[in-house]
Amino acid sequence: MTRTAPENTKLTICVWHPFTEWRPPASLADAIRKRWPAMRVAHLPDYDRLPQELPDTDIFIGYSLRAKQLADAKKLKWIHSTAAGVAQLMYPELRDSGILVTNPSGIFSVPMAEHTLGLLIALARNFPDSVRYQDQSKWAQQELWDQPQHLTELNGQVLLVVGYGSIGHELARRAKAFDMRVWGVSRSGKGDASLAEKIVPIAQLHEVLSHADFVVVSAPKPGRPCTSSAHPNSPA
């Protein structure tokens, strides 16, 4: 892939999604312009102008492009996905194009690990039912205790993390602070042994499942086309 100088490079940012936090802010384009003032930077608030901007775009920042749009991007050399998942980009035309595809892998590992740990605590202490009884002004010690999933502590429980990647590692780090016993499952059976009591390959998943008190699946989702119709001209 031939690299171009900033003055000969056009970068197009285009993401629209109903969730506003997923839309790149104008400050991103401003920061790029400040760092490379000679670069042409197009920041599109939606997909309406994308057909006009794509033909001379060298770098595209967004979560997806359709194959028919890729055909119009004659100069495209690099796609940076704003989503960690890139299954929506793995169609034959792009795979065979030689265009570089990158993503923000690992950027969501800490918030996902924190969120998951919160859910583990909620399950162990049955927060959902506790809140429901509280809303009824009912002191429900016995009812909570009689639930099939008895109230318990995380301390000493076996947490099986299926998909022992960046999210799994961050979750293991936090689970150890609660004195949980962390077991990891990865393709190779390898990982950070300082965070896990045991790491096994995926072929041994069925052997370790019966020992787990909690199971967290943080493995990549199988690839499938994105079918969102959030915007009428969305590339996905």
Level-2 CATH architecture, domain 109-217? 3-Layer(aba) Sandwich (3.40)
Question: Read out DSSP for 112-139?
Answer: HHHHHHHHHHHHHHTHHHHHHHHHTT--
- CATH number among 3.50.50.60, 3.40.50.720, 1.10.238.10, 1.10.3720.10, domain 6-102: 3.40.50.720
- How much is the pLDDT for 123? 94
- Tell me the residue type at 155: N
Are 133 and 126 spatial neighbours (Cβ–Cβ below 8 Å)?
no
Q: One fold for both 6-102 and 109-217?
A: yes
State how far the Cα of 194 lies from the Cα of 214, in Å rounded to an integer.
20
State how far the Cα of 153 lies from the Cα of 201, in Å rounded to an integer.
28
Domain boundaries, the chain: 6-102, 109-217
Per-residue pLDDT of the chain (236 residues; tens, 9 = 90+): 677 899 999 999 999 899 998 899 999 999 999 999 999 999 999 999 999 999 999 999 999 899 999 999 999 999 999 988 888 999 999 999 999 999 998 888 999 999 999 999 999 999 999 999 999 999 998 999 998 888 999 999 999 999 999 999 999 999 999 999 999 999 999 888 899 999 999 999 999 999 999 999 998 765 444 434 344 455 55
- How much is the pLDDT for 150? 85
The DSSP secondary-structure symbol of 87 reads G
